[in-house]
Amino acid sequence: MLKRENVVSMVSSLEMLGFLKLNGTQCRFVSITTRTPVVKIRAGNPWGAGKSETGLYKVLKKIGVINANYVDSVARRIAAQLGVKENEVEYEAGKTWYRHLSTADGKALPVVHNKKVEAPDSGTEYYLQYFPQTEKSESVYVNEAGEPVSADEVKPWLYKESPRSAFKPAVIAVKLANIHRLKASGVVLEMPELDEVQSVLAD
C-alpha cells in the first residue's frame, strides 16, 4: 500500500514541472489522470467544444512510459518485421512541433514545449510526453458542468483518426496544466481539483 507521505499536494503545474526535471531521464512507468478539452471536434456540436477549449472534456486515467527512445522503438519494430538485427536498421525521426527540455549534460527530459518558443519561461505551456499503454486505461467525457456524456453521443462529432504506421508507437504530449494526478518513481502528485475530476471515473 502506498504510504500517505509519498503523496504531494501541489497548486500549480510549475511545481509538477520542477518534479519532472528532478525525476531525471530514466525510462519508467507513470500513471496519470488528466482532464483535457476536446478540440478536434466538428463545428456545430451540442457542447460548443472546439478551439474555445471549453464545453466538452475527456477525463482519462492511463498508464504510460516516459523517457523511452522513440527512434530505438521504431528501429526495433522494423527489425522484428524484417527479420534483421536492430543495428542493421537506419531510421531518422521526422520533424516535430516541439522541443525537449534537457538536463545540464544535454539529456532529453520527458517535458516538451512548442519549438517556436526560443526562450521558455514560467509562462510557457509545457507538456509531458509519454508512450501510452492502451490496454490499461479508463476514460469518460464530461460537459462544462462536469456531467458525464456517453462516448456514443460524442463519436459522430469526432474526426476520423488517421491510421498510424504499425512501426510507430503511439506518443502523447499532454499539457502539464491538464494533469491532475501523476504517479512516478513512487511519488504521487495531486492537484486541488483531483477529487472532482476523478469522481466521474468512479461512477
Given the C-alpha cell 531510421, which residue does it identify?
Answer: 91
- Of the pLDDT bands very low, low, confident and very high (cuts 50, 70, 90), residue 1 is very low
Asked whether the CA dihedral 14, 182, 184, 61 is positive or negative, the reply is negative
Q: pLDDT tens digits for 118-152?
A: 888 888 999 999 999 877 789 999 999 999 999 99
Nine cell digits for residue 58: 475527456
Q: pLDDT tens digits for 14-57?
A: 999 999 999 999 999 999 999 999 999 999 999 999 999 999 99
- Of the pLDDT bands very low, low, confident and very high (cuts 50, 70, 90), residue 4 is low
| Residue of 52, 38, 62 lying closest to 155 (CA atoms) | 38
Nine cell digits for residue 59: 477525463
